[in-house]
A and B are shown apart, each in its own frame.
Chain A
Amino acid sequence: MSTRETPAALLARFDVSPARRRKDRIARGGILAATVLALIPLLLIIYYLLLKGVGSWSVNFFTTDPTGNTFFKSSSIGGIKSAILGTIEIVALASAIAIPIGIGVAVWLVEYGKNSWFAQLVRFFVDVLTGVPSIVFGLFVYIVLVVGTGSSYAGYKGSFALALLMLPVVIRSAEVVLLLVPGALRESALALGAPRFRVIFSIVLPTALPGMITGVLLAIARAAGETAPLLFTAAATLKTNFNLGQFMNSLPVQIYSDVTSPTTAVVNRAWGAALTLVVMILLLNLIARLVSRRSRLA
């Protein structure tokens, strides 16, 4: 104890042992490999989509409805206009239903329900709803609105199914963002003598807005790509249709019916439609990122 360590001994004491160096290298290699492994299918999907999809893109592809012809090579098979517009219409209505209700539920959970037993119950059911397979929502709407009313498929029925699918995503993402709004802001607004609804509308919601937009756009993106809830609610059709009370085409259903065709051109149209869908969702995600970057809550 009395003698000082030699500089060499001091260095040795602070040196990383070879065994630890080795373990570190193996661990780093392992997680890097996992990352690369996860990226491979993702890149392959984008690669194949571009490879097979871009070929069928043309002005006509986006501006004409599918003709229904799948057998005669002489005539055109048409494009996917009705599917693109159908998806936009169905998802727009689904968003119009799910977003206000979802944000309302989230506001109630954060501002009023808090940790009451009923709020906990709501949270539990929302979580369960998140895990429900999308085809179950389709089936539910099919039973209630198609079989139950004895009427036919319709665009708005597809919207209902997608709205059910979006609802838990919107609620949960909005709740997380609302919880991020500092309690001090609510307090200082309340201390100014603001009624609670004013605090929520003028302080809490504007502060949480960028984050909520992100969550909402992700929910929209998820709904836009769903096939199962639409198969037996909105069905597939050829014509572009602006009446949500009738059959309505959509991109996922168009892809679903095209890939099973024996005709190469029709299968290629499925690839083109798939690429279109992915690009649309990518754009939504980009917007979500841009908006969340402006968030004041991060």
Chain B
Amino acid sequence: MTSDGPPSRVADMEPESQTESGHERIRPQTPEAARVLTEPRVEDASSTVDAKPGLSVRLEQLRAFYGEAEQVKGVDLDFRANQVTAIIGPSGCGKSTMVRCINRMHEEIPGARAEGRVLLDDLDLYDSSVDVVAVRRAIGMVFQKPNPFPTMSVFDNVAAGPRLSAGGRSRSHSDLHAKVEAALRSAGLWEEVKDRLGEPGAGLSGGQQQRLCIARSLAVDPEVILMDEPCSALDPIATLKIEELIDQLKAQVTIVIVTHNMQQAARVADRTAFMLSGKLVEVGPTEEIFTNPTDSRTEEYVTGKFG
């Protein structure tokens, strides 16, 4: 992190953002979801560092299809607020598909659909009255390959989220600048790029690009961040930086990370879920999953017998 202070938290880095809400179109169903998703955030910026926590996500009998093929076969799973939950499992077991159902990106694929319930706090994200755009603003996503927008500078990449939102144009420049700086600081990238904000985002190194993408998703103040194998295209040092970042970010957001790398899951995750052919085999505290799993298949997988 930077030398000038503790890891930034949303509350102390961006007071203005507290009155901005991109989620007004999600229908309030529960007090907590209503507070975070629909009302302007009015907490006193100086009161508590962790004024804005993440939200929990619960999957209930989630099933996901590509055409007729069922890829996720009825998963019940809890992602606890402000914890890192890792999802491990062999290739093709449905972990990416499942994660993409959480922010409703799965349905972007032609012929793909999902059944069951995904609850953000207690709000069903698949309810017909829920605006999919608001869902994705509340639940950010970081992809496997760093994918900064190629036509945009470092600054514009991070500003893209606030700008692309429906009412985003009205934001003042200084406001936006503060938001971008805060997001870049949170992503641990500010010191490295503060002198080249105008340069193309695609000109950064792979690890920096991935942190830029994390900053980009942080700039819309999400409650949850989904990471789909965020380090698989990165070298070990860049991977380490991302992992340290994940550890800091969980104070602000709930994190779900899909990973092929079991050591990574062991390093970053509070809880780990093991999936096999579309089903959840086991979930529990990471240490327990790796040292004392209840299911024999989990044990075989984490000890490298298959997968």
Give me the interface of A with B, judged by CB distance under 8 Å. 114-115, 182, 184-185, 187-195, 198-199, 202-203, 206-207, 209, 296
Contacts and interface: CB of A to CB of B under 8 A. Distances in A.
B213 A188 contact: yes
Contacts of B304: none
B150 A193 contact: no
B151 A296 contact: yes
Contact of B149 (A189, A190, A191, A195): A189
Nearest to A116: B110
A193 B143 contact: no
A199 B165 CA distance: 10
17 contacts: A114-B110, A182-B147, A184-B147, A188-B216, A191-B103, A191-B136, A192-B137, A192-B140, A192-B164, A192-B217, A193-B137, A193-B138, A193-B164, A194-B161, A195-B166, A203-B151, A203-B160
B136 A192 contact: yes
Contacts of A203: 149, 151, 160, 164
Given A191-B217, A193-B136, A202 B105 contact: no
A114 B111 CA distance: 12
A187 B105 contact: yes
Contacts of A195: 133, 164, 166
A196 to B, nearest CB: 9
B165 A190 contact: no
Contacts of A190: 105, 108, 136
Contact of B164 (A185, A198, A206, A207): A198
Main secondary structure of the interface of A (DSSP, over half): helix
B163 interface: yes
A207 B147 CA distance: 13
B110 A189 contact: no
A187 B109 CA distance: 10
B110 A194 contact: no
A187 B133 contact: no
B257 interface: no
A114 B110 CA distance: 9
A185 B149 contact: yes
A199 B103 CA distance: 17
A206 B165 CA distance: 17
Interchain residue pairs A-B with the least CB separation, the first 9: A193-B137, A194-B164, A191-B141, A193-B136, A192-B161, A184-B147, A206-B151, A198-B164, A296-B150
Contacts of B213: 188
B134 interface: yes
A207 B150 contact: yes
A190 to B, nearest CB: 6
Given A193-B136, A193-B220, A188 B147 contact: yes
A180 to B, nearest CB: 11
A184 to B, nearest CB: 4
Given A192-B136, A192-B217, A203-B151, 6 more contacts: A189-B149, A190-B108, A191-B217, A192-B220, A207-B149, A296-B151
Nearest to B163: A202
Contacts of B241: none
Contacts of B103: 191
Contact of A207 (B136, B143, B151, B220): B151
A202 B147 contact: no
A188 to B, nearest CB: 5
Contacts of B267: none
A115 B149 CA distance: 26
B105 A193 contact: no
A43 to B, nearest CB: 39
A254 B187 CA distance: 65
B145 interface: yes
Contacts of B216: 188, 192
A51 to B, nearest CB: 46
A130 to B, nearest CB: 26
A184 B160 contact: no
Contacts of B217: 191-192
Most buried by B among A185, A188, A209, A296: A188
A79 to B, nearest CB: 44
Given A115-B110, A194-B133, A189 B22 contact: no
A184 B145 contact: yes
Contacts of B145: 184
A285 to B, nearest CB: 24
Interface in B209-232: 213, 216-217, 220
A133 B140 CA distance: 52
Given A184-B147, A203-B149, A189 B220 contact: no
B161 A193 contact: yes
A250 B75 CA distance: 69
B82 to A, nearest CB: 21
